[in-house]
Amino acid sequence: MPTQLDFKVTGEETIHCASCEQRIDTALHRLPGVQNVQASSRTQGIKVTIDPDQVKPEDVRARLEKMGYEVQQA
């Protein structure tokens, strides 16, 4: 059953534009089990739908942090 994760970018590095949104989408879709990604430069929010049998929320968070984004799960 799909699970939705909600993250908020809280650090110095923020989502600036549509290119940043696309970069996040592409990077997260490379993780197995990621079904949908919605990143917003307006709200600094990232919504990710995952299959928890294939990927853990910690893996998604780690990928975002590897990209330079400090995030908190809402």
The predicted model scores a pTM of: 0.94
Neighbours of 26 (CB within 10 A): 10
Q: Do 60 and 48 form a contact (C-beta atoms < 8 A)? A: yes
**pLDDT tens across 4-55, in order?**
999 999 999 999 999 999 999 999 999 999 999 999 999 999 999 999 999 9
Close Cβ partners of 62 (under 8 Å, ≥ 6 residues apart)? none
CATH of the domain at 29: 3.30.70.100
| Structural domain total, the chain | 1
What range defines the domain where residue 36 resides? Answer: 3-73
Q: Do 35 and 47 form a contact (C-beta atoms < 8 A)? A: no
Provide the edge-to-edge strand list for the sheet that holds 3-9.
34-40, 45-50, 3-9, 71-73
